[in-house]
Chain A
């Protein structure tokens, strides 16, 4: 098998976020680089939140997927050389989040001045923006809590960061 970056990306698309099992690490934007040097593969990753307990699992899952596909000569780095931003989530990733019931984060281009940016998150159930932010902190570090005034459902949003 000839190793290519595309091939590695394809394999890593199988690795899902353990806390949001519908989105792959590639679509989440935490895979920041792949280098292939002859038969050695380096995968660089960056954490979503520095205190996220899922990061170690994600790293191990990447190692396992490489090993299971016969790529044993590898290095997987988790570092902060690239700062993760929710703007790195792919369109496919955002669709998956919405289908899962999580409002995808709005594109922010590094301008987050106050909570207005998530005050009226779009409800993933009925698409209404007649919603209220209940708390910028949710069940995991990356989520906020909301209530939809249109359909009456409570929902969570992936925070822009």
Chain B
């Protein structure tokens, strides 16, 4: 496998984590209840820290240092799926996104924990343990709220319907998909997607939430190769505002 293919894989993972970590942090101080405020803030801290682990791997492969990569690119240079850049919306949307994303990332890191590239496997193994708590947190609240009352149920169902096309965008195939699979790095995006569909339906059945016929959901692709919504550039500017004031400052 070429180094370019590996970088492509690491960039999309890192950028998803950084951007969703930043979105999660927007709940700090305004969470619907104190415990949820803390939960989203903690998950933000986890995810930004996890993105750093991947930017460090990229740095070892010759990319620029993590701060430069994180704070000096424009939106069209990011490889995250459009799903993670969407605004936090109301709590129901953030919760649904958290659920759909973390279930996918848990499968991704479980697969990458078996990766023959030792450095990647070590990071994935570590993250798997941390993300398990994110998944368990999401499962608890999805089940609790969806079975609470009609309004809560309907809000979650509506957010789910709205989120699904973007969620499928997480599994946009890489330009190097076959090369990566043949090298045995992991079984590929399609394999994650299939496992994800099986896992989320278990929770949705308990929660009484309905999934549409998958054939009717059109995935929103493009994010992996720089095509983003209008929401990403303002996020990137806000995230890097302090860094750009003086990029040479020693923090």
Contacts and interface: CB of A to CB of B under 8 A. Distances in A.
Interface size class, chain A: 20 to 34
A1 interface: no
Q: Interface majority SS on B: helix, strand, loop or mixed?
A: helix
A81 to B, nearest CB: 7
Contacts of A114: 136, 139
A4 interface: no
Interface stretch (B122-130, B173-181, B191-199, B207-215): B122-130
B26 to A, nearest CB: 16
B137 A51 contact: no
A50 B137 contact: no
A47 B46 CA distance: 12
A81 B125 CA distance: 10
Contacts of A137: 35, 38-39, 41-43, 133, 137
B35 A50 contact: no
Interface residues of B, number: 28
B45 interface: yes
Interface in A77-136: 79-81, 83-85, 112, 114-115, 134-136
B137 A80 contact: no
Given A51-B52, A112-B132, A115-B140, A141 B46 contact: yes
Given A83-B125, A85-B129, A137-B137, 8 more contacts: A50-B53, A50-B130, A80-B122, A135-B36, A137-B38, A137-B42, A139-B38, A141-B130
18 contacts: A50-B46, A50-B123, A50-B127, A51-B47, A51-B48, A51-B50, A51-B52, A52-B49, A53-B45, A79-B122, A80-B125, A112-B129, A115-B140, A136-B137, A141-B45, A141-B130, A161-B129, A161-B130
